């Protein structure tokens, strides 16, 4: 039961359990995450605007600071000291933690060395008006997020958290209001900070932890007497923005839902149906949603090394397999057939026609109605992050080429899937309205139809099995679609059984098999064969055997793909029994492993070939 629960996607489970579960448990969480994503795009766009105007100033050259006995790696580190000087608390922690200042007998700070250094930087033109304008822009941006964070804190805890008071800064370029940035200790040089980070990581990933949380370190009062070297990594600003927004929009709902999920009465009733569903599905779901992470960090040194290798492998393999992949792009359109398991074909047909004749009006209407669609098919958060990182990190030309390839790996597939999602959403919306649903319910049902029939990779939409370290995910690459299919079929069968019984609902069950399983599997196989030109695999001019293989083999492989690990064993056995090629008899758990297997012996094969041809003496 625990293994089964770890494969369950929450929305499918809530659909099968009935309307109240969907409205009370899943929908509030989904809506909260949608609000978080939309706000994050808004804030990051503003941050991107600041960085873009300022970016050329962030030179990679090191900056000597003999007054402080320190060398800044680059201009970005120097700017972080300016940002820390926006309030007395940060400045004190910065100077004393880095030992750039000393305490006088009366407890005040002797920061003469710091003042000399800053004056020299200003005089030499290393620090300019542009730098301080950028700093004030960052302070103002972070300040703009506080009111909503305060409201969320008051709602959850009954009081407002203490705020750090800005300190005015006088410069040759004028006076600046100052402001706040997080005063985080450098985890690479401070053991206390490293321990604290490990504790937070453990609590956020431990599914037995009583209350899943986004974390709220920024709301806690500081201990002014504690000083340690503060982090000068400008990238922490992005993670701070994300943390504040997750706390503001996701934490209240997660906290509310955690009370339900950990309630003894609720758990007792749920255990009568499934003893593991709360522990192995619901709690991990809330943890995943709160942290907004699919890929988890390993907790040991060896794991971190293998994770680094696994990340590179997954990215490169995805680029190799999917970049400009016409076959996979065509397979995306089988999603329209899958959607017919929930949306009647006539509504899909009408939506398809509307998309073909006036897709701009259709998409505009859809985006106006659905926040969730805006958050998934509008501005991409990852694109904004990449743009910011390109300015801050000054990547080489080769790195930029790699980033471009990875960014556009799925460009064809994404375009096709966005088209399919739009058609499914519009069809589901029309169906809901005609059935008498309210405008709000029709929008929510349409969002759900897209998620449950097309799938997403969002943390709140996947199962526990689909989360893991980079090394673990190497063995689960591309499993999401098949797990979505399994969840769709199982949840719809449960609904049929509950509503009319499987005997009376045999017709509905057969229709589900056709639309959500058989047709997508067979059509996908036909597309693969057509693109490869292999309708007649054995070149015997007989097609009946190939038709039978396509019909039954595609369905068998789809079923096998929904079973973790054991499915690959079954497929290897099938290939050995029913195909002529020995190449597909090998057991491969992921595309990355397959490629490694195929390339591992290339060097030896080349050597043998040259030797046999007399090329080596």
Taking alpha carbons only, the member of 495, 552, 497 closest to residue 521 is 552
**Per-residue confidence band for 295, with pLDDT thresholds at 50, 70 and 90:** confident
Q: What is the pLDDT of residues 50-102, one digit of tens each?
A: 988 887 788 889 999 999 999 999 999 999 999 999 999 999 999 999 999 99
Q: What are phi and psi of 109, to 5 degrees?
A: -100, 135
Name residue, tokens 């069809």: 427
**Per-residue confidence band for 202, with pLDDT thresholds at 50, 70 and 90:** very low
Alpha-carbon Rg for the chain in angstroms: 28
Average pLDDT for residues 246-271, to the nearest whole number?
92
Proportion of the chain above pLDDT 70, given as a percent: 77
Tokens of 349: 């047909």
Contact criterion met (CB below 8 Å) for 480 and 463: no
Average pLDDT for residues 380-401, to the nearest whole number?
58
**Is pLDDT larger for residue 378 or for residue 568?**
568
Average pLDDT for residues 2-16, to the nearest whole number?
90
**Is pLDDT larger for residue 399 or for residue 450?**
450
Our CA angle for 112, 77, 231, nearest 5°, is 85
* Distance, CA of 319 to CA of 332 (rounded, Å): 17
CA atoms within 13 A on the CB side of 7: 21
Average pLDDT for residues 481-486, to the nearest whole number?
92
**SS3 call for 185:** strand
Is the pLDDT at 206 greater than 70, yes or no?
Answer: no
Is the pLDDT at 577 greater than 50, yes or no?
Answer: yes
Proportion of the chain above pLDDT 90, given as a percent: 49
Confidence (pLDDT) at 392: 62
Q: What are phi and psi of 423, to 5 degrees?
A: -65, -45
Taking alpha carbons only, the member of 119, 122, 134 closest to residue 56 is 134
Contact criterion met (CB below 8 Å) for 26 and 261: no
Confidence (pLDDT) at 616: 46
**Is pLDDT larger for residue 218 or for residue 199?**
218
- For 592, other C-beta atoms within 10 Å of its C-beta total 23
* Distance, CA of 420 to CA of 169 (rounded, Å): 54
Lowest-confidence pick of 160-174, 353-367, 544-558, 571-585: 571-585
Residues sharing a CB contact under 8 Å with residue 493, sequence separation 6 or more, in sequence order:
502, 509, 512
Tokens of 568: 């690959």
Confidence (pLDDT) at 540: 59
Number of H helices, E strands in the chain: 33, 8
Confidence (pLDDT) at 448: 95
**Per-residue confidence band for 336, with pLDDT thresholds at 50, 70 and 90:** very high
* Distance, CA of 421 to CA of 450 (rounded, Å): 6
Is the pLDDT at 539 greater than 70, yes or no?
Answer: no
Q: What is the pLDDT of residues 106-121, one digit of tens each?
A: 888 999 999 999 999 9
- C-alpha distances (whole Å) from 325 to each of 257, 318, 406, 413 are 41, 10, 13, 8
What is the average pLDDT value for the chain, to the nearest integer?
Answer: 83
Tokens of 11: 């929305």
Taking alpha carbons only, the member of 127, 226, 206 closest to residue 173 is 127
- C-alpha distances (whole Å) from 475 to each of 469, 565, 594 are 10, 9, 11
Is the pLDDT at 587 greater than 60, yes or no?
Answer: no
Average pLDDT for residues 596-617, to the nearest whole number?
51
**Is pLDDT larger for residue 233 or for residue 547?**
233
- C-alpha distances (whole Å) from 176 to each of 129, 131, 139, 232, 580 are 10, 12, 10, 21, 75
Confidence (pLDDT) at 547: 82
Partners of 295 in the β-ladder:
468
Total residues belonging to the chain? 617
Confidence (pLDDT) at 186: 79
Average pLDDT for residues 267-276, to the nearest whole number?
89
Average pLDDT for residues 178-188, to the nearest whole number?
85
* Distance, CA of 243 to CA of 216 (rounded, Å): 8
* Distance, CA of 450 to CA of 462 (rounded, Å): 14
- For 177, other C-beta atoms within 10 Å of its C-beta total 13
Contact criterion met (CB below 8 Å) for 185 and 193: yes
**Per-residue confidence band for 228, with pLDDT thresholds at 50, 70 and 90:** confident
Lowest-confidence pick of 204-208, 302-306, 425-429: 204-208
Confidence (pLDDT) at 16: 92
Confidence (pLDDT) at 194: 47
**Is pLDDT larger for residue 268 or for residue 601?**
268
Our CA angle for 140, 143, 145, nearest 5°, is 120
Tokens of 259: 């009370």
Contact criterion met (CB below 8 Å) for 333 and 420: yes
* Distance, CA of 356 to CA of 362 (rounded, Å): 10
User: What is the widest separation between alpha-carbon atoms in the chain?
Assistant: 97
In three-state form (DSSP H/G/I as H, E/B as E, the rest C), the secondary structure along 220-270 is CCCCCCCCCCECCCCCHHHHHHHHHHHHHHHHHHHHHHHHHHCCHHHHHHH
Q: What are phi and psi of 392, to 5 degrees?
A: -75, -45
Is the pLDDT at 584 greater than 50, yes or no?
Answer: no
Is the pLDDT at 155 greater than 80, yes or no?
Answer: yes
Name residue, tokens 């037995």: 208
**SS3 call for 169:** strand
Name residue, tokens 């600041």: 50
Q: Using N-to-C axis directions, what is the helix angle for 27-54 and 236-245, rounded to 10°?
A: 150
Lowest-confidence pick of 6-20, 76-90, 181-195, 477-491: 181-195
* Distance, CA of 595 to CA of 427 (rounded, Å): 40
DSSP state of 550: I
Confidence (pLDDT) at 557: 86
Is the pLDDT at 250 greater than 80, yes or no?
Answer: yes
What is the model's pTM? 0.84
Is the pLDDT at 151 greater than 80, yes or no?
Answer: yes
**Per-residue confidence band for 1, with pLDDT thresholds at 50, 70 and 90:** low
Confidence (pLDDT) at 591: 57
Is the pLDDT at 232 greater than 70, yes or no?
Answer: yes
Is the pLDDT at 337 greater than 90, yes or no?
Answer: yes
Taking alpha carbons only, the member of 288, 305, 587, 289 closest to residue 471 is 305
Is the pLDDT at 209 greater than 50, yes or no?
Answer: no
Is the pLDDT at 138 greater than 60, yes or no?
Answer: yes
Is the pLDDT at 538 greater than 70, yes or no?
Answer: no
* Distance, CA of 603 to CA of 306 (rounded, Å): 23
Is the pLDDT at 207 greater than 50, yes or no?
Answer: no
């Amino acid at each position: 039961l625990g293994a089964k629960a770890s494969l369950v996607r929450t929305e499918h489970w809530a659909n099968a359990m009935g309307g109240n579960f969907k409205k009370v448990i899943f929908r509030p969480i989904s809506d909260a995450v949608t609000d978080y994503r939309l706000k994050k795009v808004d804030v990051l766009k503003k941050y991107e605007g600041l960085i873009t105007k300022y970016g050329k100033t962030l030179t990679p050259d090191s900056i000597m600071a003999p007054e402080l006995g320190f060398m800044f790696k680059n201009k970005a580190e120097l700017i972080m000291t300016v940002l820390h000087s926006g309030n007395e608390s940060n400045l004190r922690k910065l100077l004393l933690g880095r030992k750039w200042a000393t305490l006088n007998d009366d407890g005040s700070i002797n920061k003469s060395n710091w003042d000399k250094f800053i004056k020299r930087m200003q005089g030499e033109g290393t620090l300019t008006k542009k730098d301080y304008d950028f700093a004030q822009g960052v302070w103002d941006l972070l300040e703009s997020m506080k009111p909503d964070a305060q409201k969320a804190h008051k709602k959850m805890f009954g009081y407002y958290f203490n705020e750090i008071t800005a300190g005015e800064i006088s410069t040759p370029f004028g006076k600046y209001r100052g402001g706040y940035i997080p005063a985080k200790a450098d985890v690479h040089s401070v053991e206390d900070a490293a321990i604290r980070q490990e504790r937070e990581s453990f609590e956020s990933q431990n599914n037995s932890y009583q209350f899943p949380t986004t974390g709220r370190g920024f709301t806690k009062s500081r201990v002014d007497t504690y000083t340690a070297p503060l982090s000068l990594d400008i990238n922490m600003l992005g993670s701070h923005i994300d943390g504040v927004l997750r706390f503001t929009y996701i934490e209240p709902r997660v906290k509310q839902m955690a009370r339900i999920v950990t309630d003894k009465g609720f758990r007792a009733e749920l255990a009568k149906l499934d003893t593991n569903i709360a522990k192995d599905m619901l709690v991990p779901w809330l943890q995943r949603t709160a942290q907004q992470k699919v890929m988890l960090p390993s907790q040991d040194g060896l794991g971190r090394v293998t994770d680094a290798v696994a990340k590179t492998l997954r990215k490169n393999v995805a680029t190799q397999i999917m970049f400009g992949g016409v076959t996979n792009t065509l397979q995306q359109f089988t999603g329209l057939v899958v959607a017919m398991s929930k949306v009647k074909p006539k509504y899909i047909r009408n939506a398809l026609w509307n998309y073909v004749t006036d897709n701009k009006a259709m998409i505009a209407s859809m985006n106006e109605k659905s926040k969730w669609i805006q958050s998934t098919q509008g501005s991409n958060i990852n694109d904004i992050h990449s743009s910011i990182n390109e300015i801050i990190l000054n990547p080489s030309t080769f790195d930029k080429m790699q980033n471009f390839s990875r960014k556009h790996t799925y460009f064809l597939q994404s375009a096709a899937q966005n088209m399919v999602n739009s058609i499914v959403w519009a069809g589901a919306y029309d169906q809901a309205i005609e059935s008498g649903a309210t405008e709000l319910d029709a929008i929510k049902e349409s969002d759900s139809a897209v998620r449950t029939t097309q799938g997403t990779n969002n943390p709140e939409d996947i199962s526990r099995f689909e989360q893991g370290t980079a090394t673990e995910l190497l063995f689960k690459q591309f499993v999401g679609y098949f797990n979505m299919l399994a969840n769709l079929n199982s949840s719809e069968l449960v609904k049929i059984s509950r509503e009319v019984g499987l005997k009376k609902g045999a017709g509905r069950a057969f229709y589900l098999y056709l639309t959500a399983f058989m047709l997508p599997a067979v059509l996908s196989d036909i597309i693969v064969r057509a693109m490869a030109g292999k309708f007649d695999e054995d070149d015997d001019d007989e097609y009946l055997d190939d038709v039978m293989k396509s019909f039954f083999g595609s369905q068998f492989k789809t079923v096998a793909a929904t079973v973790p690990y054991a499915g690959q064993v079954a497929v290897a056995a099938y290939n050995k029994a029913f195909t002529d090629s020995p190449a597909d008899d090998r057991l491969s758990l992921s595309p990355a492993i397959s490629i490694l297997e195929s390339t591992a012996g290339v060097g030896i094969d080349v050597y043998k070939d040259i030797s046999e041809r007399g090329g080596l003496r």
